[in-house]
Chains A and B, each alone.
Chain A
Amino acid sequence: MLDDEVGLFEPIQPNPPRTEREAEFYTLGDGEMLLNVGPHHPSTHGVMRVVMKLDGEKVVDLDPVLGYLHRGVEKLGENADFHQSIAYLDPLEYVSSLFCEWPAVMAYEKLLDVEVPRRAEYIRVLSGELNRIASHTLAMGFQALDLGGITPILYSFIERDEIVEMLAALTGQRMLFNYFRIGGVNGDLNHDFMSRLGDWMSRAATQIEANMGLLNENEIFVRRNRGLGVMDSETALRMCWTGPNLRASGVSFDLRRAHPYSIYPELDFDVPTRNEGDCLARYLLRLDEVKQSLRIIDQCLEQMPDGPVMAKLPRLLRPRPGRAFAAVEGPRGLYGIYAMSDGTDQPFRFRIHDPSFIHLQSFTTLIPGHLIADWMAINASLDPIMGGVDK
């Protein structure tokens, strides 16, 4: 019956190959087959599609296919005025929205030569580090979830929910905060936020430690992550890695220190680094970073100055023609915005640099030779957010 139909597992090429690489990828060797993972697969962290070339369970090669979440944010930003374009950035990396807004407001402030009040900078750092903790706990939980452990992710979500409630009290929204404004932030700290924060800070460190104790010592988890997806520092730099992933490969590159911005030079914190460069190192590094973020929050609360939270700005912003690039160290790495102004009230070019996009393309370097199950582990340890990848 089946003989009449198409061969059982014959690959179907949607289009004639456009490049040599594509042609090479879709040519199957002996005993190889293509497996289409996604766009809605349980562990693709969004809507990603990866075509895998398999030899049994071993991944020979793979080809990520993007664009399922593409919304054209860059074009939208070029057709909105400077304030409006910030709102488009929130849904990019929806688990760490503040870090998407931050480089944009920094770039615009550079274009406009605006001095940000110090209290606003402190509030930005404070809320940003909270968001970083939320993102990191989630990333650690998902790393377990993609390995089949269902409990850590729920503990992570409990922690994240507390932070998100806190930020909702501060910013008004739970996920898409739209809080940073050109020249400051939208609203001062309030009592609700501060009481929640104090309450949470008193138990955060022990709680996160206890939750992740479920994984740190777990032999299965450790064995499944150790020595997996190893990236050496030289290749990591060539792959333009940033953030925790790069630091887990032994490069102590943290924009907060390497290219200081905001009030980070005044704060005392370490840049944790690990040399193994494998999935376990990336996981443990996130745990270390959470501790450093807690330190930063403590210092911010101690040193918080008084004063305004917004600079005086005209209602309609028309910066002089020029170009500005600003980048911040987000929970996934370097978030950058390259903005050009042509003298109108809209950015002329609005380029978004997203770290997930960069990390995702090292799949072809990291994964071939591993098993299918390792793909999930490596993917989770790189912690991509598809909203940011697809812009």
Chain B
Amino acid sequence: MDRSLRARLEARFGEVLSGPIRQRHDETEIRIAPKDVPDVLGALHDEPEYRFVMLADLAGVDTGEVMQVVYHLWSDTTGDWLRVIADGLSREEPRTPSITFLWKAAEWMEREAYDMFGIVFEGNRDLRRIFMPPEYTSFPLRKDFYLADDAARSPGGGVRPSERSHAPRNSPAGTVRRVKA
């Protein structure tokens, strides 16, 4: 845990943070609104105080209530992974700015997040499905997507008890497994 990093981040980005900075093990976590992503990540990447030059991961997350985009950054100025969570994307129409202007390689990771969650990254010039076939319609990693897509629409309903326990067949629509984000 890098306490100084926390202090630095609070001082620099205090007004854009949408939640408290959390630290656990070797990770520091900040939350921002999607609209602030380009500015915050740009600052983290460019400013010599931070030098987060490496994007270790870009992941979409469906918490069951909102969508999130999670960035993991690495810098030689700190021993921590920095986790930036762009929080509060709506599940109906998730949209967030693309960061391909910072890391070109984010293009495919954003494509993957789009493919799996339907998150639209504005500014990604090649946002199409990457793993699933072009004519595919649903987003498999969303929490209201049960395993075996076709089976989910069939009378058999959900598939294994482990999945069904989260969303029984006759339960009201929209009850999905969720986590307190």
**Touch A–B, Cβ below 8 Å:** yes
Point out the residues of chain B lying under 8 angstroms from A295, CB to CB.
none
B72 in the interface (beta carbon within 8 A):
yes
A351 in the interface (beta carbon within 8 A):
yes
B54 in the interface (beta carbon within 8 A):
yes
- Could you tell me if B147 and A75 are in contact, using CB atoms closer than 8 angstroms? yes
Point out the residues of chain A lying under 8 angstroms from B147, CB to CB.
75-76, 79
- Could you tell me if A75 and B177 are in contact, using CB atoms closer than 8 angstroms? no
**Segment 213-243 of A: residues with Cβ below 8 Å from B:** 235, 237-242
A49 in the interface (beta carbon within 8 A):
no
- Could you tell me if B53 and A237 are in contact, using CB atoms closer than 8 angstroms? yes
Tell me the count of chain B residues lying within 8 A, CB to CB, of chain A.
52
Summed over the interface, the residue pairs from A and B with CB atoms below 8 Å come to a total of 129
Main secondary structure of the interface of B (DSSP, over half): loop
Point out the residues of chain A lying under 8 angstroms from B53, CB to CB.
237
Residue of B nearest to A361 (CB): B108
Point out the residues of chain A lying under 8 angstroms from B135, CB to CB.
15
Point out the residues of chain A lying under 8 angstroms from B83, CB to CB.
323, 325
- Could you tell me if A351 and B57 are in contact, using CB atoms closer than 8 angstroms? yes
Point out the residues of chain B lying under 8 angstroms from A336, CB to CB.
56-57, 72
- Could you tell me if B61 and A325 are in contact, using CB atoms closer than 8 angstroms? no
Known A-B contacts A79-B163, A325-B83; A342 and B56 likewise in contact (beta carbons under 8 Å): no
Taking the nearest CB of chain B, how far is it from the CB of A8, in angstroms? 26
Point out the residues of chain B lying under 8 angstroms from A19, CB to CB.
125-128
A198 in the interface (beta carbon within 8 A):
no
**Segment 348-375 of A: residues with Cβ below 8 Å from B:** 348-349, 351, 353, 357-358, 360-362, 365
B24 in the interface (beta carbon within 8 A):
yes
Choose the segment among A32-40, A64-72, A117-125, A148-156 that binds chain B (4+ C-beta atoms closer than 8 Å): A64-72
Point out the residues of chain A lying under 8 angstroms from B56, CB to CB.
240, 325, 327, 334, 336, 353
**Segment 10-55 of B: residues with Cβ below 8 Å from A:** 24-27, 29, 53-55
* A residues whose Cβ falls under 8 Å from a Cβ of B: 14-15, 18-22, 66-67, 70, 72, 74-76, 78-79, 110, 235, 237-242, 253, 258-259, 321-325, 327, 334, 336, 338, 340-343, 346, 348-349, 351, 353, 357-358, 360-362, 365, 390-391
